Amino acid sequence: MAELRPSGAPGPTAPPAPGPTAPPAFASLFPPGLHAIYGECRRLYPDQPNPLQVTAIVKYWFTGTDGPSGFGFELTFRLKRETGESAPPTWPAELMQGLARYVFQSENTFCSGDHVSWHSPLDNSESRIQHMLLTEDPQMQPVQTPFGVVTFLQIVGVCTEELHSAQQWNGQGILELLRTVPVAGGPWLITDMRRGETIFEIDPHLQQERVDKGIETDGSNLSGVSAKCAWDDLSRPPEDDEDSRSICIGTQPRRLSGKDTEQIRETLRRGLEINSKPVLPPINPQRQNGLAHDRAP
């Protein structure tokens, strides 16, 4: 989309623009919630007055265009340029659109240090970069809009081994390690889709000296886990050798003792009670600030 400027005939007789107030046509094309975001982008990239813009038919504005969305953040992404590449690819926009759709549909917000298990190359190639971490954008500063403060969260592509370490320890710790390895992100956390080695393969000492030690001293800040449970009736004969009911101790089917059964029942009951409580407060569309500042670490 080309940058829009107020129309007017050039020459010395043309009147100057009336202060900071934009003409009605300009304001209608650029909703108030986007002026501050565009301004921050132009501050950071003054040599790109007319950058490539990609849009979707169904848009998910975290910031809100004509009113507050209640989220208070926007996503950014830094991608290493491919050799011989003359134009930026569009797949990062599709990736961010998918994440935005998830936020709007689930009403779960993102925070710095969060991880996203994607389980597929981010660019649909054969890349090892198949998951994401989120962090504060290292260059774009929070901005004030008519609907509240907006922060910028950067997507950082990571390998499966790096994701597992973030889950066992914490996302911020792995992000700091990525900053120390230039080919894995460097200070700006640039994603290189052609990176073929994890940070632990590049520097084997990181696993033991940083991650294992961090897990030992800090534990993990993972707030939830996913599990799949299944029940079976061991009193019925198995259908074949692959049937789980064919597992026996000697000639007798494996059975749980009454004590074990009660412990499982009590554990499940406590888990259901915990999971019935909302982890995050509900999104209120009338709030003036996003939830990014309200979530406990």
Mind listing the pLDDT tens digit for each residue in 68-89? 667 889 999 999 999 999 889 9
Q: Is residue 250 part of a domain?
A: no
> Per-residue pLDDT tens for 44-62?
999 988 777 776 666 555 6
pLDDT at 258: 77
Residue 5 is assigned to a structural domain of this protein: no
Domain-embedded: residue 19: no
pLDDT tens digits along 142-155: 999 888 899 999 99
**Residue-range definition of the domain harbouring residue 46:** 32-218
DSSP H helices in the chain? 24-29, 32-44, 91-106, 160-168, 171-180, 199-202, 205-206, 213-218, 258-275
Separation of alpha carbons 155 and 43, rounded Å: 21
pTM of the model: 0.66
247-266 pLDDT per residue, tens: 554 555 556 677 777 877 87
Determine how many CB atoms are found less than 10 A away from the CB of residue 182.
Answer: 11
Please report the pLDDT score of residue 226 as a whole number: 63
* Residue 145 belongs to some domain of the structure: yes
Average pLDDT over all residues of the chain: 77
* Residue 261 located in a structural domain: no
- Confidence at residue 58, expressed as pLDDT on a 0 to 100 scale: 61
Tell me the mean pLDDT in the region 196-220.
93
For residue 131 the two structure tokens come to 């998951």
Q: Exposed/middle/buried for 170, CB within 10 Å: 0-12, 13-18, 19+?
A: buried
Sorting pLDDT into bands at 50, 70 and 90, what band is 281?
very low
* CA distances from residue 123 to 50, 93, 157, 194 in whole angstroms, order as listed: 25, 11, 10, 10
SS3 at position 248 = strand
CA–CA gap between residue 186 and residue 246 (Å, rounded): 53
Tell me the pLDDT tens digit for each residue of 6-27.
333 344 434 444 444 444 444 4
Report in angstroms the alpha-carbon separations of 120 from 29, 165, 199.
36, 18, 19
Number of domains in the chain: 1
Q: Tell me which H or E stretch contains 57.
A: none
Contacts of 173 (CB under 8 A, 6+ apart): 166, 210, 211, 214, 218
Domain-embedded: residue 56:
yes
Band of the pLDDT at 291, cuts 50, 70, 90? very low
| 249, part of any domain | no
Confirm whether 235 is domain-assigned.
no
CB 189, CB 139: distance < 8 Å: no
